[in-house]
Amino acid sequence: MERRHFLRNSALILGSFWNLDAWSAPGSYKVLRGDTLSGIAHRFNTSVQTLKRLNHLSSDLIMAGQTLNIQEKVIAGLPNETVTAIKKAPINRNKWKHIVIHHSATRQGNAKSFDSAHRRRGMSNGLAYHFLIGNGRGSGDGVLEIGSRWRGQLNGGHVKSSWYNGNSIGICLVGNFQERKPTPKQLASLQHLVKYLQTSGLMQQKLRVYGHKQIKREQTLCPGKYMDATIASMAKKLG
């Protein structure tokens, strides 16, 4: 009797500690009484904004018994929604020949803030890059933002050469990589994006990968010394 009682109590303690009933499926969570969206976000190392987007929530209100998606579905390492948005563009398969990688040379930022800054500099199409990868300051760490130039298949504004702007996809990582290293999540997102662009069949030809400073007559340190090894490796493997 004592042993059976001990086992029952142990099961109760284990269940209450791990909230076993809260799990409904891999990548999802069943809301318990007293849960908050911010608390769930903290528990699963994500953000309230991400949870709201994944679950199509217009507010922070959640109900006990509700099942929330916690993880994004991924394709080739990229969130499903990102892949869908990339493919939704009217892609000109013959236009793109290169990928040029940049850093923002700032400590923080996001697509919206850089778009405004570039418009103030006279760029009528706004954000100079086709893609931007956040560092957790102003945008999520490793979060990939798709610019209007990709969505509209417009020339970039990320290098001085009009020829390269016309046939190169510009990818910018937020940060100053002459001073510090990019985050692991940024590098992972960059590698997934470049690989997807190279191998998904979206392009007519294989894209060559460059760091900004490798473009002739650019006279820049961009994307910084801490990106040199990464770009060399990517160029060897993918471009």
* Averaged pLDDT, 211-216: 96
List strands edge to edge, sheet with 144-146: 144-146, 131-133, 168-173, 98-103, 208-211
Q: How far apart are CA 58 and CA 149, in angstroms?
A: 28
Report pLDDT digits (tens) over 68-87. Answer: 988 767 677 888 889 999 99
15-69 CATH: 3.10.350.10
User: Over the chain, what is the mean pLDDT?
Assistant: 86
Report pLDDT digits (tens) over 163-210. Answer: 999 999 999 999 999 999 999 999 999 999 999 999 888 998 889 999
| CATH topology assigned to domain 78-237 | Lysozyme-like (3.40.80)
Q: Where are the domains of the chain?
A: 15-69, 78-237
Q: How far apart are CA 183 and CA 201, in angstroms?
A: 29
Q: What is the biggest distance separating any 2 CA atoms in the chain, rounded to whole angstroms?
A: 84
Residues 6+ away with beta carbon under 8 Å from 205: 97
Asked if residue 169 lies in contact with residue 131, where contact means CB atoms within 8 angstroms, the answer is yes
Q: How far apart are CA 111 and CA 71, in angstroms?
A: 23
Global pTM? 0.73
Backbone φ and ψ of 129, nearest 5°: -100, 160
Report pLDDT digits (tens) over 113-172. Answer: 999 999 999 999 999 999 999 999 998 899 999 999 999 999 999 999 999 999 999 999
pLDDT of 37 reads 94
Q: How far apart are CA 186 and CA 182, in angstroms?
A: 6
CB atoms near residue 95 (< 10 Å): 14
What's the DSSP call for residue 106?
S
Residues of the chain above pLDDT 70, percent: 87
Residue 41 has pLDDT above 90, yes or no: no
Collect contacts of 89-92 with beta carbons under 8 A, ≥24 apart.
89/150, 89/151, 89/152, 89/153, 90/153, 91/153, 91/202, 92/153
